[in-house]
Amino acid sequence: MHVRIVGLGPIGTRFAVESLERGHRVTAIDIDQSRLARVAADRNDPLNRYREANAPLELATQPSPGAGCDVTRICVGTTGADGDFDGSSVDFALGALEPMLAKGELVAIESTVPPFSTQTRFRAILESGGRIVGEDVFLVAAPERTDVARSRDESIPKVVGGVTPACTRRGVEIFERLVDTVVPVRSAAVAEAAKMLENAFRFVNVAFANEFAEALAAAGLEPRDVVAAAATKPFGFMAFWPGTGIGGDCVPLAARLYCDFAVTTQTEAAIAGAALRSDALAPQRILRRIERAAGGQAKRVLLLGLSYKSFARSTAWSPGARLARFLVERGLQVDIIEPALTRLDDGSLGTLVTAETLRQPYDVAIVAAWNEEVGAILERKPATVVLDLSGSPHV
């Protein structure tokens, strides 16, 4: 099969690798030339070894006519700089694609988008040149659910909903050759709304777990002990581990999409709204916790891990960074250990240190995200008080 992937961020890169592993031909498109250059120049780039091994992989900055693709997977970013939904990259990508589509080609919207976007806004772009969706070309919503910090060996079912029944059938046929498990649903909007539900659910629960943790800590209980105890209940409970706040772009985006959806449906998103407000207060709560733990004397903090969640390499949308900035603004010295970075571009976050340049003792060490170096640093007992706010079950 010939698979075209539009948007080579972490998600598109993963799609490209998985498609090549399954023996498909891949054309990977990214509007950002420097992203394509990295595939060739960076030995750690997941696509580099396929390129060097002359795998059937083409890289381009725009779609070309006559490519004869079976499917185009749209996975461009959809979060604006302010954290709200911005669908303009999908519009732009589809606009460039529309004149190039092959007869019978499937277009899959895998970016996170509000319910009904595929059926209305994106369908209109594909039909702007006179083609009919469901006859000449096919269109589905198949929102991506990957956790980039997890192993790719773990198979995640793919929900696929078409704009027409024929689109769903074509989507299922194609995705059965791309993933292990395909879950057809009644419509594109069902697929989009399911993604919104999954991630808004996560947002609300993590916000609750973080808020609850402060009350437990204030009462002299270790929040992680309480979560671990509750997690032994075999039904009706799901463990969310206390963290520094909610990071990444996708989970907060879904909570915001749901709040917007409530406005358009003239309903109320009181719980999600409260969770968004609660999460914005996370740095204040953690400062209070630091002060309580250090007897009000905290001046020097070691922050371990700046990625947006444990074992992710990316520091974009990092709640640890938001916390670091907040603590620096309050006059604390913040040293940061993050092996994925060689320098800190943003001076407002504190100072990047390494195992060699650690300035211990610190009043408090905060595990903001686990990575391969955190355990060894903690063994050196950099602080008398250690708060595990990694949001994950390790240690």
Ligand X SMILES: NC(=O)c1ccc[n+]([C@@H]2O[C@H](COP(=O)([O-])OP(=O)(O)OC[C@H]3O[C@@H](n4cnc5c(N)ncnc54)[C@H](O)[C@@H]3O)[C@@H](O)[C@H]2O)c1
Q: List residues near ligand X by CB under 6 A.
A: 6-12, 29-32, 35, 75-79, 89, 92-93, 111-112, 144-146, 148, 248-250, 253
Between 83 and 393, CB nearer to ligand X: 83
Whole-angstrom Cα distance, residue 388 to residue 395?
Answer: 8
Q: Which two tokens stand for residue 331?
A: 């006059």
| Contact indicator for 371, 311 with CB cutoff of 8 Å | yes
Between 138 and 317, CB nearer to ligand X: 317
Nearest residue to 138 via CA among 119, 116, 162, 113: 162
Judged on CB neighbours under 10 Å (0-12, 13-18, 19+), 340 is: middle
Between 79 and 390, CB nearer to ligand X: 79
Between 75 and 133, CB nearer to ligand X: 75
| Contact indicator for 382, 288 with CB cutoff of 8 Å | no
Length in residues, the chain: 395
Whole-angstrom Cα distance, residue 65 to residue 101?
Answer: 8
Between 80 and 273, CB nearer to ligand X: 80
Between 102 and 141, CB nearer to ligand X: 141
| Contact indicator for 142, 190 with CB cutoff of 8 Å | no
| Contact indicator for 374, 394 with CB cutoff of 8 Å | no
The answer, yes or no, to whether the previous bond of 319 is cis (omega within 30 of 0) is no
Minimum CB separation of residue 14 from ligand X in Å reads 8
Q: Alpha helix locations (H) across 294-389?
A: 319-329, 374-379
Buried b (16+ CB within 10 A) or exposed e, 51-73: eeeebebebeeebeeebebbbbb
Between 94 and 204, CB nearer to ligand X: 94
Whole-angstrom Cα distance, residue 56 to residue 107?
Answer: 21
Rg of the chain over CA atoms, in angstroms? 23
The amino acid occupying position 378 is L
Minimum CB separation of residue 240 from ligand X in Å reads 18
Minimum CB separation of residue 117 from ligand X in Å reads 11
Minimum CB separation of residue 61 from ligand X in Å reads 7
| Contact indicator for 244, 286 with CB cutoff of 8 Å | yes
Minimum CB separation of residue 227 from ligand X in Å reads 23
Minimum CB separation of residue 247 from ligand X in Å reads 10
Between 91 and 222, CB nearer to ligand X: 91
Minimum CB separation of residue 164 from ligand X in Å reads 23
Q: Which two tokens stand for residue 221?
A: 């209980």
Between 64 and 357, CB nearer to ligand X: 64
296: left (phi over 0), alpha (psi -120 to 50) or beta: left
Minimum CB separation of residue 254 from ligand X in Å reads 8
Minimum CB separation of residue 111 from ligand X in Å reads 3
Which position's Cβ is nearest ligand X? 9
